[in-house]
Structure 1
Amino acid sequence: MKKIGLIGGTSWVSTIDYYRIINEYANQKRGGLHTAEIILYSVNFHEFQSYLRNYDWDHLTIYFSEITEKLINAGAEIILLGANTAHVVYDPLQHRFPQVKIIHIAQATGKQILNHNLRKVGLLGTKFTMELDFYRSKLENMGIEVVVPSSQEEREYITYTLENELGRSIFKPETQKEYLGIIQRLKDQHKIEGVILGCTEIPLLIKQDDIDIPVFDTTKIHSLAAVDLALE
């Protein structure tokens, strides 16, 4: 089994789920007492966020490049960026390190959407994931139409709660209710067929049982894709 390098801490809350899911699935696939070989580099979330807030993609690329190089030097053969928003620097990062596969979370999610025979989905995530094209373009290139909340207020609300609640392991019933309301409005107004939980903390708040359309848990999808590739 190939060694998985996980860039986590973006946030630490969802990184716990990455670690759990990867090991559970590796054991399920291999049996016995087998687990995954994971090299984890947990970043300082404050530093990561400072680059995001300033739209400083050049320094964010350098930041993740230095970490990726450390993981490769430690033996990592597959790299995961443990956050949807971090994929804003995916292309330059993969170009710089062609010797390893960096699994793109949106492409892995897109495969699952197509497996469900869906073509139009809603996307919830940080304002960067929802408003910039680095994420949606990967899905649109796969023939998937992506819809985000049209209200700036809703997009700002999701970003605020991700940073100040979910990313700090704070889960409020009223926040869950508002997220479900946003999804319902996407259903009513845009006729979405499924919804991408496009920030790795959202699956800790919203579950499939809460919604009557398919939910795509990007943390789980990304983790399973890593194990499948590691076992090839």
Structure 2
Amino acid sequence: MSPADEPAVIGLLGGMSWPSTLTYYRALNEGIGKALGGSHSARVVIWSQDYAEVERRQLAGDWEGAGALLAAGARRLAAAGADMVAIACNTMHRVSGAVRTACELPLIDIVEVTAEATRRRGITRAAVLGTRFTAQDGLFDGALAARGIEPVLPGAADQRLIDHIIYDELCRGTVSDRAAVAFAGLRKRLRGEGADGLILACTELGLLLPPAEHLSPAVVDTVEVHVQALVAASLRGRTGAPAGPS
């Protein structure tokens, strides 16, 4: 492979949290390896935030400060030779505008690729499961509605459960049986309320799903479809946005 044919370099804003960044790194390398064969792996630069700093700003409602953190990371990725940038966190796409302003690299947007994947799978009422900032602030609502998909949000008690699992367990590297059972009950309730699909709108939530359910077309894991889009963008080189994932 000549230098001109090399995949473009993926710039990943990670550390939000580190367990999900591990998932991204593995999946990006597996995706490139599957596409190119042999011993190929991803060309990727990671800027890993200290998640405590990000979390503190989230919980305090300091989104301007949170955006400044990611903007600084995006500039570092650009300086390190990245050809595109991705935010490895659903909630932090709330400050995607700050990242776009900070550098000229194309942003591969998790919200847009997830909404498109949801449409392609024929889902019409999608339960959006993520932090309260993702759910209550309607991060996915516009992208889903533009594709004729109705977002279904968990109730207050269920949202508190999701936040506890994300912030107090998954983001700290803990995957407990108790959390897995509670999350399974939540998914069952939402299906019973008419959701015909689930969006795992937090990059750690996939850690709780059994493999068989993870493979279901009715479950849209934002990490999975985001990685597919990043691999596609890398293989297409430096000039275009990725095709939407299937």
Match of 1:178 in 2: 182
Query: Alignment identity in percent?
Result: 29
Letter in 2 for 1:204: L
Taking a change above 3 Å as real, the CA distance of residues 207 and 84 of structure 1, as seen in their structure-2 partners, is farther
Match of 1:27 in 2: 33
Once the two structures are TM-superposed, the CA of residue 219 in structure 1 deviates from its matched residue by: 1.1
Of the three residues 71, 83, 98, the one matched with 2:89 is: 83
Of the three residues 176, 200, 215, the one matched with 1:197 is: 200
Q: Which moved more, 1:60-69 or 1:86-95?
A: 86-95
Residues 1:55 and 2:61 aligned together: yes
Residues 1:110 and 2:115 aligned together: yes
Of the three residues 141, 154, 158, the one matched with 1:154 is: 158
Taking a change above 3 Å as real, the CA distance of residues 52 and 105 of structure 1, as seen in their structure-2 partners, is same
Judge conservation of contact 1:121–1:192 (CA < 8 Å) in 2.
yes
- Please give the alpha-carbon distance, in whole angstroms, between the structure 2 residues aligned to 1:176 and 1:210: 12
Consecutive unaligned residues of structure 2, counting only runs of 5 or more, are 1-6, 237-246
Judge conservation of contact 1:87–1:135 (CA < 8 Å) in 2.
no
Letter in 2 for 1:74: A
Letter in 2 for 1:198: A
1:142 aligned counterpart, secondary structure: coil
Letter in 2 for 1:218: T
Taking a change above 3 Å as real, the CA distance of residues 181 and 204 of structure 1, as seen in their structure-2 partners, is same
- Please give the alpha-carbon distance, in whole angstroms, between the structure 2 residues aligned to 1:213 and 1:180: 17
Match of 1:129 in 2: 134
| 1:5-61 superposed Cα distances (whole Å, 9 cap, x missing partner) | 111110101111100000000011111221111101111010000110011111111
Letter in 2 for 1:4: I
Of the three residues 221, 226, 244, the one matched with 1:222 is: 226
- Please give the alpha-carbon distance, in whole angstroms, between the structure 2 residues aligned to 1:157 and 1:183: 12
2:34 aligned counterpart, secondary structure: helix
Once the two structures are TM-superposed, the CA of residue 96 in structure 1 deviates from its matched residue by: 4.1
Match of 2:148 in 1: 143
Match of 1:64 in 2: 70
Residues 1:15 and 2:21 aligned together: yes
Letter in 1 for 2:164: Y
Judge conservation of contact 2:75–2:102 (CA < 8 Å) in 1.
no
Where does structure 1 differ by over 6 angstroms across 4 or more consecutive aligned residues?
Answer: none
With normalisation by structure 1, the TM-score equals 0.93
How many correspondences in the alignment? Answer: 229
With normalisation by structure 2, the TM-score equals 0.88
Q: Which moved more, 1:34-43 or 1:141-150?
A: 141-150
Taking a change above 3 Å as real, the CA distance of residues 208 and 114 of structure 1, as seen in their structure-2 partners, is farther
Q: Which moved more, 1:134-143 or 1:8-17?
A: 134-143
- Please give the alpha-carbon distance, in whole angstroms, between the structure 2 residues aligned to 1:53 and 1:60: 10
